[in-house]
Structure formats: C-alpha cells, structure tokens
C-alpha cells in the first residue's frame, strides 16, 4: 500500500485478526451501525485500514464542491435548459418524464416557496491508467438522498484506533476530522430558520419495512396510528401543524411510486409551502442526462458567465460523456461503445447503485436497441481506472481476507438560497467507500462497498 500501511502489517495474520476484533468492537461502541435484519443491528461494513489518497487530489475535490453547489442551484432555476437537456430522455424514460411533468406543473402554477435547500454529494474516482498521476474524475452528483453523512462522521476515530493499536502512530495523525452530519444538519436548520415558524416541524420521508411512504393509503392507515408521526402527516394532508422542511430520503427510484396516488403525493408536496430537499427541479438537475449535456463545449459557461477559472475547475473533473440521442452523434457513440466496450460505462437515468452496465453486457444491451429510440434513455461515459490497493473488508459473517480494492470519494455540499440570495454555500465533509475490484458497481447499502477513510499521502 504505497505510502500507506506496509506489507509487513498487511500480511501479519495474527495481528490482522487482533486488529479486526478491536475494530469490530470499536465500531459497535462508536455507533458505526447498520440494521442487518428487522430485529438485528450489527456494525456497518468498513475497511480495516484507511486507503491512501493523494492530498492534492483530495483537496481539489473539496475545493470544487461549492462550485458544484452553485451549478446545481443555477440549473434548477433554468427551466429552458432543463427542457432542452431532458427533451430526448423524457420521450422514452417514463420515470424521468413523470418527474418532469410535476416540474412543469409547478412552473405553471408558480413556486410556493422561495427558500431552496440543497444537500448533495459529488462522487469521484481517481483515474490512474497507463501509470499516469492520479486525476480526479466525477462519476455523478447526487441531488437527492445523498447518504452516509452520519456514518462517515463516526469512522475517523475508528481507523485512528486501529492504526494506534497496530503501532502506526504517524499514519493515525493523517486521518482528517470529518463531520458531514453536522454540516448537512446545519443546512436543514438554516432552511427551517428562514421558514420563520418556531412551531413548524421537519419531516424526513423514508421507506420503512418496504412500504412506500408516497402512498396515501400507507400514510393514512399506518402513520396516523403512531403518535410520533401523527403531527407530521397531519400537517401534510390536512390543516394541522405546519411542515417547514421535507427531506426526501427516498423518491429517487420508480419503485418508490407504485401507484397514481404516489405521484399525486409527490405533486402535493411540491405544491406545499414546505422547503423541499430537493425540490423537483433540483431533483432533475442531478439526472445522468444533465450530467452528459453539461460536458458539451460552452454549456458550463452558460451558468458561470465571466468566470473562466470556475468553469475550468469543474470541467477538469469531467470524464468523457457521450450522447445516445438519435442522429449521427449518437450513432458514433454506439459504434464506439460496441468496438471497445471495456473502455466505457453505459448509464440509465437511475439512482441507488447497481444500475450501470459494463463490458460485454454493453454490447448485448446496445445491439438490442442501437436503432431504437430506447437508447436515448442512456448515456455513455468513459470508464475510470483507479489503482487497486490491498485492504481487508470487514463484513458481518464474511471471511477475513486481503482483497484488491477500488475506492470512490464523495464530497458533501450544503447550500440554502432565499429568493436570489445564496445565504449558505459550503463543502461540509467527505465519504470514502471501497469495494473489491471484482465488483463493477454497487454501494454500501447494496452490500458491495464498505465505509473507509482517506489516508492522505
């Protein structure tokens, strides 16, 4: 592990076993927890050691985050751009089209709230192909339900302890403090404060026990029966107590909307005076198609006129992104992907992990739709090639073995705008997730990646 944990530690079987036991106990004590089953809580999966990350690249990711906050916010206010960017996608992708229709309805009726709250996470990998220096490349930006701010606030002390027990005091000092939970909560608190009612409440919308909280029947039949939720639901569906802020922890997947009532509920929320996190236009700003359109020449300049340095900072993090719209440009993308599929990732307009398509499967999917408008529901992106690092992935009931691992760096942003005034715009922390190199896709919740910390080198 270059400038990180030496091989004599990584390959010391007895020491590794002791360190794993110490780490698991510490995780339980420090709240690095995840519900494993309905009645069982265990430690959340994590790496035994922190992963080396070049300091310059790490600081680059932190520095660009406030610009990404601004970019997302400006996109959300540019209805003409969203219409142009998503025109082809909404022809063929019903989920995005349903979201876009809500966006259009709100524009027609007029926005009911001038306060905008954005809590997002921009995800990157370090591209190091052909022995070159590490280059920061964005995978995506999550504008809805950007997760793991809480758990990533708990893991620095965990890895510091492991390194100290291993006798690696110098390395333990290179793990940064990290508390995105405080920053994200600060954004919510600022939005609540600006709303201006001390009696108003904050609502967190989550999917519980596989039941869909967007379904009126679930709200009426279940949540109304539970005292700790009654005042929240009452405020949303009748004339009771006000909701100041609605935070969407779900609502980014088609299965979150299993009936027409679910879509009616989302529209009802968007029409309300509550501050939505995200509102519907910010949700759309985080789609893969928008990401691809932003990479076109001259598009970033639309949002940062007269700010070439900001444009360059953002553009430097873009990987190659290619349209699959019908026409010569999209045809060229198809030919390129079919000729060398291992160089690319095929991405649908979906969030939550496990949706991307790699390698020979790209050929199978594209061959079936290369002459069809169905292809417009996807974009193509250059595959990023991070350098594998050896580490141990600690999971409940999994064997303790060294693995070749790849990591993904997420950076959390929080912003609040009131009218035209940006009253808060901050980078509030980071998240490192690591997985075995044998897996192409999938996050922590999907059981593929684990929590990690950067060890700056």
Q: Which residues are annotated as a binding site for ATP?
A: 140, 288, 347-356, 358, 381-384, 408, 435, 441
Q: How far apart are CA 247 and CA 275, in angstroms?
A: 9
Strand pairing class (378-382; 344-348): antiparallel
* Residue 77 DSSP one-character state: T
157: preceding bond cis by omega (within 30 degrees): no
Backbone angles phi, psi at 399, to 5 degrees: -65, 150
Using CA atoms, how far residue 7 sits from 33, 402, 457, in Å, is: 29, 11, 17
Known binding-site residues for substrate equal 121, 433
Q: How far apart are CA 168 and CA 182, in angstroms?
A: 29
CA-wise closest residue to 6 among 447, 448, 390: 390
Q: Is 413 exposed, middle or buried (0-12, 13-18, 19+ CB in 10 A)?
A: buried
* Residue 296 DSSP one-character state: S
CA-wise closest residue to 405 among 53, 23, 162: 53
| Residue carrying structure tokens 């992963």 | 51
| H helical segments located in 38-93 | 55-76, 79-86, 89-92
Q: State the catalytic residues.
A: 121, 140, 142, 147, 288, 347, 351-352, 433
How many whole angstroms from its chain centre is CA 360? Answer: 26
Give yes or no for a contact between 400 and 20, defined as CB atoms under 8 angstroms apart. yes
Known binding-site residues for Mg(2+) equal 140, 142, 351
Known binding-site residues equal 121, 140, 142, 288, 347-356, 358, 381-384, 408, 433, 435, 441
* Residue 119 DSSP one-character state: E
Strand pairing class (402-418; 389-394): antiparallel
| Residue carrying structure tokens 């307009």 | 349
- Please report the beta strands in 159-290, taking only residues with DSSP state E, as ranges in sequence order: 201-205, 243-248, 275-277
Give yes or no for a contact between 51 and 2, defined as CB atoms under 8 angstroms apart. no
Q: How far apart are CA 131 and CA 151, in angstroms?
A: 33
């Amino acid at each position: 592990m270059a400038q990180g944990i030496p091989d004599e530690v990584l390959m010391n079987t007895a020491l590794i076993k002791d360190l794993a036991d110490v780490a698991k106990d510490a995780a339980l004590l420090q709240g690095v927890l995840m519900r494993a089953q309905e009645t069982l809580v265990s430690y959340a999966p994590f790496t035994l050691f922190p992963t080396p990350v070049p300091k310059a690249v790490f600081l680059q990711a932190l520095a660009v985050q406030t610009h990404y906050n601004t970019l997302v916010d400006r996109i959300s206010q540019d209805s003409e751009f969203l219409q142009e960017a998503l025109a082809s996608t909404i022809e063929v992708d019903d989920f995005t089209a349903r979201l876009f229709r809500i966006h259009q309805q709100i524009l027609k009726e007029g926005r009911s709230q001038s306060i905008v709250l954005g809590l997002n996470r921009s995800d990157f990998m370090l591209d190091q192909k052909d022995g070159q220096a590490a280059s920061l490349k964005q995978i995506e930006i999550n504008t809805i339900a950007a997760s793991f701010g809480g758990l990533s606030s708990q893991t620095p002390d965990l890895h510091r302890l492991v390194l100290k027990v291993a006798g690696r005091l110098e390395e333990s000092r290179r793990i940064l403090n990290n508390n995105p939970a405080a920053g994200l909560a600060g954004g919510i608190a600022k939005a609540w404060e600006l709303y201006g009612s001390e009696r108003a409440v904050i609502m967190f919308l989550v999917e519980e026990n596989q039941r869909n909280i967007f379904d009126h029947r679930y709200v009426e039949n279940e949540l109304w029966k539970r005292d700790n939720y009654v005042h929240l639901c009452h405020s949303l569906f009748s004339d009771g107590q006000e909701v100041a802020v609605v935070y969407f922890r779900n609502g980014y997947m088609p299965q979150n909307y299993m009936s027409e009532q679910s879509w009616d509920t989302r529209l009802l929320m968007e029409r309300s005076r509550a501050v939505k996190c995200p509102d519907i236009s910010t949700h759309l700003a985080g789609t893969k198609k928008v990401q691809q359109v932003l990479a076109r020449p001259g598009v970033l300049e639309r949002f940062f006129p007269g700010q070439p340095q900001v444009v360059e900072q953002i553009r430097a993090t873009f990987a190659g992104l290619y349209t699959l719209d019908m026409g010569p440009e999209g045809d060229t993308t198809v030919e390129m992907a079919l000729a060398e599929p291992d160089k690319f990732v095929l991405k649908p307009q979906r969030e939550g992990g496990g949706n991307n398509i790699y390698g020979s499967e790209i050929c199978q999917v594209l061959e079936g739709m290369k002459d069809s408008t169905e292809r417009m529901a996807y974009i193509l992106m250059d595959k990023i090639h991070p350098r594998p690092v050896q580490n141990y992935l600690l999971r409940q009931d999994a064997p303790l073995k060294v693995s070749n691992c790849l990591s993904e760096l997420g950076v959390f942003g929080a912003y609040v705008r009131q009218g035209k005034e940006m009253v808060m715009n901050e980078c509030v922390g980071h998240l490192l997730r690591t997985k075995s190199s044998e897996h192409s896709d999938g996050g922590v919740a999907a059981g593929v990646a684990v929590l990690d910390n950067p060890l700056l080198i």
